[in-house]
Amino acid sequence: MSTIGELGTPAGVGAGPAALIEDRVIADGAPIPVINPFTDREIGTTHEAGTAIVDEAVAAAVAALPSWSRTSAAHRATVLRATADLIDHHGHRIAATVTSEMGMPTALSTASQQVLPASVLRATADAAERFPWEQTVDGAIVRRVAGGVVAAITPWNMPVHQIIAKVAAAFAAGCTVVLKPSEATPFDAALVRRCFLEAGLPAGAFAIVNGTGPETGQALSSHPDITHVSFTGSVRGGKAVAAAAAESLARTTLELGGKSPAVVLPDADLDAVVPRILASGLVNSGQACNATTRLVLPAAHADRIEQLIGDALAELVFGDPTAPETTHGPLASAAHARRVLDHIDLARHNGGRVIAGTGEQLGIGNSRCFVAPIVFGDLDRSASAVREEIFGPVLVVQYYRDVAEAIEVANDSQYGLSAEVWSADRDHAVEVATHLEVGQVKINGVRTRERPTVPFGGVKNSGYGRELGSVGIAEFTEVSAVMA
């Protein structure tokens, strides 16, 4: 079917180029090592793409734009579906590469970096075929047209899914793309691009530039021929991207941090719910922007809740992320593990009571990146562990006395990306959800990956704009009205 296997071993070992532009591999630039966080060994290198290389990538995307934007929505949907088929066929290699790059356990990598991206591609293809490309409004023809050349800047924590969420919608809209993946996870991006090209996407329509945010990311987001920048990352990074893009009035979509609450209402089945909100908060070892790291729980059941939290943590299995029994792997880097440990020390200093877990650095193999989960209680709402996105296995319990207080606690955050509400009464849960200041609310355990057309994005410091489905496609279009 495909020669994607020729690109390297499942771990992507080898030298990654500074850029992939049309049919060219550009290997210039300072080398950047890529470290497997479990083995603590270098699995390869990528290279920094400087301003001149970024210029080449954007120029190729500009040249490819007229032809690609004139293709029919049906043809673009066909390319997306063919790409999904290739990811299905070769996804084991892509998932294994992600595991090697950043330590995601194989089971999660398969589900979120292989199965989910293929699902998003097919859902985006369906949305493109149903999209209102042309409407009549008050006698005028209102058309949605391709927005231009898109810069996609993606993170390391869910690398393939984040790439697909951006580029699938951009290609469906008729845009061309220059992608800057995280320098920590460059090899999976090359495999994804290969799938798109083998599916029929013109090579010039999809370039990759590798490198760091301050150099490559800055050059890309400030480029005058970029018309839209879609960024996922930290609040600080998002502000820098928005400022750079503003120089040329490029539009931006920013999916930033989160401090998501899981609101468990008093009538919920605690025995069933508590393990599930723990799992949601600790998914990918807490390295998820929508992880439920704030557990908003009924004070009347505190004793039972804390017992259940301890029991749930005892079931977790830490170890080699390639082992099938491993539920939680290392954090993505030693530097990140150190930052998480510093947050834990600060939470203890701020008077946090340890409900369960240790928050200690774990010695597993040669890795310096394992941190045991910890759940804190009794922290003031102003404490950093309550306010800041830690991006690790650190959860806080916030008790409430009535539902009104639960809503108030849940909304007391600078972030507004996601939330969960749990109740035996679904209608009551939905009613509570309408009061939460977030971009997406999941009721009784619905998972984002089960709904690949539902818009995803945040408010407040979690950013603006949306990904997925028809709303995600609309992000990358411009409106043209013809009045006759």
- What tens digit of pLDDT does each residue of 165-187 get? 999 999 999 999 999 999 999 99
**Mean pLDDT throughout 110-125?**
97
Give the residue numbers marked as catalytic.
255
Domain 261-452 adopts which CATH fold? Aldehyde Dehydrogenase; Chain A, domain 2 (3.40.309)
What's the chain's average pLDDT? 95
The residue ranges of every structural domain in the chain are 4-256+463-483, 261-452
pLDDT at 450: 87
Cβ atoms of residues 207 and 23 within 8 Å: no
Cβ atoms of residues 166 and 465 within 8 Å: no
Helix axes 73-102, 159-172, angle to 10 degrees: 170
Calpha distance 96→321 (Å, rounded): 10
pLDDT tens-digit series, residues 74-117:
999 999 999 999 999 998 999 999 999 999 999 999 999 999 99
Amino acid at 194: R
Q: What is the pTM of this model?
A: 0.96
**Mean pLDDT throughout 449-469?**
96
Other C-beta atoms within 10 Å of 67: how many? 12
Nearest to 318 by CA among 91, 479, 105, 157: 105
CATH architecture of the domain with residue range 4-256+463-483 = 3-Layer(aba) Sandwich (3.40)
- Whether 4-256+463-483 shares its CATH topology with 261-452 is answered no
Q: Give the pLDDT band of residue 224 (cuts 50, 70, 90).
A: very high
Other C-beta atoms within 10 Å of 434: how many? 9
